[in-house]
Structure 1
């Protein structure tokens, strides 16, 4: 089976390696971001508001650091807004009864607004216009929703016909002009564009955790059990994904993938493994 190696993309500056990585992502413009705290949250206890550092590393290697105060998310999702601000959201909403599950900070790190998007966040990705795409896991049947940065609901996957029951957003890819999703239970590939009807393509790849699309080609990363590092490729027809190849994705040195985070952005799948200080990338356009 053919193996494809990831390529290094961005590294957390070594000066911050002693801090605990609460969360990390790659934004719509290719910049990598880390949310850092002095220590990990203590298990089994409420986590009071804490100070954190938001470290951003751009594709040219330049880095910037912003201090955030009174961050509340215990297990956070995060992203950078196009205006230079920041979004930090708790994956669980049960303890946030006052609409403060999502915190939006300005470019100086000051909290500007809060709102809630619903429990059980699996993915949170900001698009190039500043809207938030949220994919939920199976404890929230909301599926996939798009929100403004002020907390206004703009779109919901409940409006999609022909996709079956969207119970869990396994894979989500948000690029500049289109959003792709591959949800449980039927794993269709959804092509979501502004002001258009969602295109639904039948798909036989099950359990993928990330997806990349480029010029009529698609790649799915992951699957159940031993297929956690599977790289399944296909071609897009009008109504389906036609499989073309199955291989394995490895780390740059050829080592197998372990526990990881993944982010889909257009033609790219970004992968981060423990200790979560480096992002690597697979680019379908390459």
Structure 2
């Protein structure tokens, strides 16, 4: 069993995730966020089977990360959950990609209210959102579950087909080779239930755990 990465007394562990191929990746930060991002020092820690944690110091960080995953080519994807729209200001990016040496490569926006981040084997980015993001008016978050490519281009979002309800909160998310999966049974107050594991879109099966709204 892997231990948590060794941190300095000044560091905080802000993100921890298991990749689709079984590795562990974590993020630590050091410095006060009150002074803005220039004062925030960020490290990514990668753990592979049989090895200890390998820390990588990041440069060019423009977000306050609290989500992390690993792209197939070894690049790190860091995400800041909140991406608030402010009047008369451009919406800031809340996702950044760094290479294995810690250098910033690109940034993009993946919507407000990120609750879950998962990258499948081909490198598709799956994002599940919590209610404040879904109802924030951000079109990237509104569906509750959205899929992006590695450059932040939106590929798919969940919109309920006939007979299904919309997502109010994505409670859990897992990925396999090309599928975002989490078995879900929706049980009504009368004991009636629906199997939501058959919601298929774009040849990819989604079975995300979510709070569903609608008649029970």
The offset of 1:95, in angstroms, is: 6.3
Contact 1:167 1:184 in 2 (8 A): no
Query: Which of the residues 57, 67, 81 maps onto 1:91?
Result: 81
Contact 1:147 1:154 in 2 (8 A): yes
Change in Cα spacing, 1:90 to 1:10, as seen in structure 2 (3 Å) is same
Contact 2:37 2:63 in 1 (8 A): no
1:112 aligns to 2:105 (yes or no):
yes
Structure 1 consecutive aligned stretches of length 4 or more whose deviation exceeds 6 Å? 182-187
CA distance in 1, matches of 2:183, 2:67: 20
CA distance in 1, matches of 2:201, 2:124: 12
Change in Cα spacing, 1:159 to 1:64, as seen in structure 2 (3 Å) is same
Matches within 5 A, 1:63-212: 63-94=53-84, 97-139=90-132, 140=134, 141-158=142-159, 160-181=161-182, 189-190=196-197, 195-196=202-203, 198=205
In structure 2, the gaps of 5 or more residues are: 135-141, 188-193, 212-216
CA distance in 2, matches of 1:138, 1:184: 20
Aligned residues: 192
**CA-atom RMSD, angstroms?**
3.2
Cα deviation digits, residues 169-188 of structure 1 (max 9, x gap): 11111122321146898796
Contact 1:134 1:146 in 2 (8 A): yes
CA distance in 1, matches of 2:62, 2:13: 15
Change in Cα spacing, 1:200 to 1:23, as seen in structure 2 (3 Å) is closer
Change in Cα spacing, 1:159 to 1:194, as seen in structure 2 (3 Å) is closer
CA distance in 1, matches of 2:207, 2:160: 12
Q: Which has the higher strand share?
A: 1
In structure 1, the gaps of 5 or more residues are: 1-8, 208-286
TM (norm. structure 1) is 0.58
